[in-house]
Structure formats: C-alpha cells, structure tokens
A and B are shown apart, each in its own frame.
Chain A
C-alpha cells in the first residue's frame, strides 16, 4: 500500500455542512493535523471529497476530535448524488489528544467519498486530516 497524494489526484472538499471561515473544510486534506475543520452545532454533519477520476482506495485514515460515529458512502459518478454505503465505525473518545482511525474501504473505486458524522462526544467536533492508501 502506498500513500495517495490527494493534491495530485485533484481531490477537493466539495461540500461541508458547517462553515467557520477561520477553519475551512479545505483544512481536512491539507496534510496538516494542526489545521482543522470544525462543526458548528447539531448532528449529523458531513463532508464530501471529490477526485478528478475514479480512484481505488484501500484504507482511509481520519484524524479527528470528539467524533463518535462515522459513516462512509461513495459513488463513481461525476455528480455528488446517489451514494452507496461503504462502511461505518464507532470512534473511541480521546481526551486531550486527537483520535486517529484507519478504516478499510476494501480497495473500492470512487469519484466521491461522503463522510457522515452521525454523533459526537461533544456539541462540536473537528476533523484535522484525511489521508488515503491504495
């Protein structure tokens, strides 16, 4: 497995359900865990990453804080519609340091990945980095 370079794959965050201009959703894929995207109240919350072409993904690793339950969906179409369920995971609570969770996507091919945070350990949660391996 090798690390996928999200920037060279033309990956973009095309939708995020919360917006704090100081903590934009682009921070999710900037390879820096010091910068983050923060949710601004209530659940569920989600963000969608688009690749410029169908991409095979073995695992995705999420660095986050206070996320309780994450659901991942994907599609292989050009538009961000008609998603199908891939997997879901309950994250452990970590106090004072980031959660880091590797999730297997079984080498599925996708043009969009949709990350749905269905619940959190606090009113607000943050996502610091998403990286992928193929």
Chain B
C-alpha cells in the first residue's frame, strides 16, 4: 500500500468551469455551484482518490487558480511546482480552446524541466447546440501535449469522476515507472 501526494494545478481561461469542477471533485459529484463567482486568487482543495484494483491511493492537492488575465500574474507565485496539470476549456468557446497552448507555455517554467502528466478537459458538454470545438480536434491537440482528453458537464455532473481517476492514474503510473527505474540502478 502506498499513498502518493500530488500538487494538481487547475488552469484555463476565466469562466470555463474550473471552480465548478473542483467543487464537484471535492464533494464527490454532489455539489454544482449555480451562481458564478469569479476566482480572483487561489483556492486549495484536497481530494483522495483510490486506484482501482490496488490498495494504493493518490491525495490530490488541487490548486484552483484565477483564469482572468488581470489576476494571473499575481497568482503564478502560488502555482508552485506542479505534479499534475488539469487544463480546462469551454466546449462552447473556440477562443478558450485556442488559449490552451498559451496556458501550457505559461506553466512550463514552473515544471523545472520535468515531465508533468495531466489531462485536458472540455467542459459544458451539456450545451451541445452551442458547441464550437469538435472532440476529434481537442483530442488530437491533447495527445500532442501528452495529455489525456475528457469531456465533462459540471452542471449535469457528467464524467467528472473520469477526470479525477485519470489524474490519479497518471501520477500512480509515473510513480511505478520511477520505482522500477530505482530498482534497476547500479551502485554509486
């Protein structure tokens, strides 16, 4: 049995649903905040995820941070050194998807040259009539960035578990990989 700990940075444009998702993660899919209140600083939520068919678990320290341009610079200081990335965009806003590459560039200096696994999340899948980003396009871009792709509806509480599990699994397999590498080291 092992308990891993990961600092998971939640990134993406303002109003794509980062805080809505993080509260659903935290409340086990029971709480959707109906009223919008813009995140201007940084909020920390802890969520423990069990890895199926093992006794292992991952404690995710989810850093929900402002997406609004005005606040980003000030919040960057609190990003720290992430272990996982959760990049969110709004499926009904082409612009929020286009800005994802900018978010990836911004977070790079915080990753100390390490590979940081993560997911790309297309949120608001319930608004299908207003969809502007095709799943195939988003999924292809995610792959090019080494991210897993998921679509969610925070409002309908749809598929949010899959995102959490995907994050936890990514960190868990990274740990197993590294432990394997240590096992095969030659003596100094």
Contact = CB atoms under 8 A, between A and B. Distances in A.
Nearest to B184: A96
B2 A21 contact: yes
A99 B178 contact: no
Interface string B64-103: 0000000000000000010100000000000000000000
A85 B183 CA distance: 32
A126 B182 CA distance: 8
Interface residues of B, number: 22
Contacts of B175: 40-41, 123-124
A41 B3 CA distance: 9
Interface of A is mostly: loop
Nearest to B178: A124
Contacts of A98: 185-188
B178 A123 contact: yes
B9 to A, nearest CB: 12
Contacts of A20: 1-2, 179
A43 to B, nearest CB: 7
Interface in A77-116: 94, 96-100
Nearest to A123: B83
Given A122-B178, A124-B175, A42 B61 contact: yes
Nearest to B58: A41
Contacts of A65: 182, 185
Interface in B1-25: 1-7
Given A21-B1, A36-B182, A123-B83, A42 B187 contact: no
Interface of B is mostly: mixed
A46 B171 CA distance: 21
A42 B188 contact: no
Contact of B6 (A42, A63, A99): A42
B162 interface: no
A131 B56 CA distance: 31
Interface string B93-128: 000000000000000000000100000000000000
B174 interface: yes
A42 B182 contact: no
Contact of A22 (B2, B61, B81): B2
A65 to B, nearest CB: 6
Interface string B140-156: 00000000000000000
A122 B188 contact: no
A56 interface: no
Contacts of A96: 185-186
Pairs of residues from A and B, 10 with the lowest C-beta to C-beta distance, nearest first: A98-B188, A41-B5, A20-B2, A100-B188, A40-B4, A124-B178, A41-B4, A97-B186, A42-B5, A126-B182
21 contacts: A19-B2, A20-B1, A20-B179, A21-B2, A23-B179, A40-B175, A41-B5, A41-B6, A41-B7, A41-B171, A42-B5, A42-B6, A65-B185, A94-B188, A97-B185, A97-B186, A97-B188, A123-B175, A124-B174, A124-B178, A124-B179
